[in-house]
Amino acid sequence: MKKHNFSAGPCILPQSVFQKASEAVLNFNGIDLSILEISHRSKDFVEVMEKAQALALEHLQLENKGYKALFLQGGASMQFLMAAYNLLEKKAAYLNTGTWSSKAIKEAKLFGELVEVASSKDQNFNYIPKNYSIPSDADYFHCTSNNTIFGTQMKSFPETDIPLVCDMSSDIFSRELDFSKFDLIYAGAQKNMGPAGTTLVVVKEEILGKVSRQIPSMLDYQVHIGKDSMFNTPAVFSVYVSMLTLKWLKDQGGIKAIQKKNEEKAALIYREIDRNPLFTGFVANKEDRSTMNATFNLTDESLSETFNNLWKDAGVNGLNGHRSVGGYRASMYNALPIESVQVVVDTMRELEKRA
């Protein structure tokens, strides 16, 4: 039987997507060839790329609003430097909410002056800073919508006149937002959209072409836009599986419907974390808790072996916290069914009975 997969990334994808993807490896679209052996410029694959781009914009309600969707390589980590390369002329403003923001800041510093508007580093990133001000003369403001490692999530975004750039790697397509407030959104596929190997970049074209530096072709958003994500060979399989997942999401009723399910899953586990005296949540303020990654600890470390055996015996995978936080992390991406969350909650209750 398939395990209850709480892995933080790469992570669970819909079972029907795995099924279709495996069929396409053997015989894609009934053309008697594998998707892995056809040209990325063939009609069959160009359709996949176009569909994936269209579905991404449709889910985000950004069609006909001046945005382009790209499927690039290099992961979200490449976007840390690519965003700065393309947008940073003099000065950029960053909000530091954890490991990923810190890495983005480190890369951007190579390109200009960097203003860290606020940071939650003082409390090991267990909250989202609020009430900071953003310098209006910065070229852009960058934030990370969901902190995959620490389990915090931004529930609102600052109002600013400068371009808004957001790393949405771990909560893209999980909740409704006014995406038109953002000028550049990027997300590594492997958290909520598809397999590792491709990164979705959604960019408002009007913010590009404003820096004076020369940009190498592979790092230039305008080059990739000009070639419709086909400047070089794209990660064909990752793009295909992402397209299948975006189609699946549409069949589920889109972001609105999946958000409701994600909130139910999150409520289920946080209710137990708050009720059960053996557990404590990692995030300081309830309003900052992530619906995607719930982080928690045992109040009595000596119970860890018993608890670990309980959830492993129940068929649960990937519940250990990130090494920088410890404890536990339940990653509940779109494809994770609520039944899996119930299994973890049951093991938490079972531990309480035994302790």
Ligand X SMILES: *Cc1c(COP(=O)(O)O)cnc(C)c1O
**Per CB under 6 A, 170 contacts ligand X:** yes
Please report the sign of the dihedral spanned by the C-alpha atoms of residue 131, residue 93, residue 79, residue 86.
positive
Written as one letter, the residue type at 124 is N
Residue indicated by tokens 């490449």: 78
161 noted as active-site residue: no
For ligand X, the closer CB: 108 or 310: 108
**Which one of 22-30, 36-44, 72-80, 345-353 is the stretch in contact with ligand X (CB under 6 A)?**
72-80
Respond yes or no: is residue 167 known to be catalytic.
yes
Q: Give me the half-sphere count of Cα atoms (radius 13 Å) on the Cβ side of residue 14.
A: 19
Question: What's the chain's Rg over C-alpha atoms?
Answer: 21
- In the bound complex, what is the minimum distance in angstroms from residue 100's beta carbon to ligand X? 4
Task: Choose which of 53, 126, 144, 295 interacts with ligand X (CB under 6 A).
Answer: 144
Minimum distance from CB of 292 to ligand X (Å)?
Answer: 9
Quote the CA–CA distance of 320 and 346 in Å, as a whole number. Answer: 17
Q: How many residues bind ligand X (CB under 6 A)?
A: 12
- Phi then psi for residue 84, to 5 deg, are -65, -40
Q: Which of residues 68 and 191 has its CB atom nearest to ligand X in the complex?
A: 191
Give every strand in the sheet of 67-72, ordered side by side.
Answer: 67-72, 199-204, 184-188, 164-167, 141-144, 91-96, 113-119
Q: Give the Cα-Cα-Cα angle 271, 296, 324 (nearest 5 degrees).
A: 160
Residue in 50, 135, 128, 137 with CA at minimum distance from that of residue 290: 128
> Could you give the CA distance from residue 306 to residue 51 in angstroms, rounded to a whole number?
47
Q: Does 188 bind ligand X (CB under 6 A)?
A: yes
Q: Is 262 in the site for ligand X (CB under 6 A)?
A: no
Instruction: State the nearest-atom distance from the C-beta of 249 to ligand X, in Å.
Output: 19
Question: How far apart, in whole angstroms, are the C-alpha atoms of residue 94 and residue 107?
Answer: 12
- Of 151 and 281, the one with the shorter C-beta distance to ligand X is 151
Catalytic residue among 171, 183, 191, 220: 191
Q: Which of 169, 198, 290, 291 binds ligand X (CB under 6 A)?
A: 169
Residues 10, 75, 254, 337: which binds ligand X (CB under 6 A)? 75
Q: Does 270 bind ligand X (CB under 6 A)?
A: no
Query: Do 76 and 101 touch, CB atoms closer than 8 A?
Result: no
Q: Is 259 in the site for ligand X (CB under 6 A)?
A: no
Q: Is 232 left (phi over 0), alpha (psi -120 to 50) or beta?
A: beta
Segment contacting ligand X by CB under 6 A, of 51-59, 165-173, 309-317, 344-352 = 165-173
Region near ligand X per CB under 6 A, out of 65-73, 105-113, 166-174, 300-308: 166-174
Identify the bridge partners of residue 147 per DSSP, sorted by sequence position. Answer: 152
288 is known as an active-site residue: no
Instruction: Give least dist CB 128 to ligand X, A.
Output: 13
Q: Which parts of this chain interact with ligand X (CB under 6 A)?
A: 9, 75-77, 100, 144, 148, 167, 169-170, 188, 191
Q: So which residues are the catalytic ones?
A: 100, 167, 191
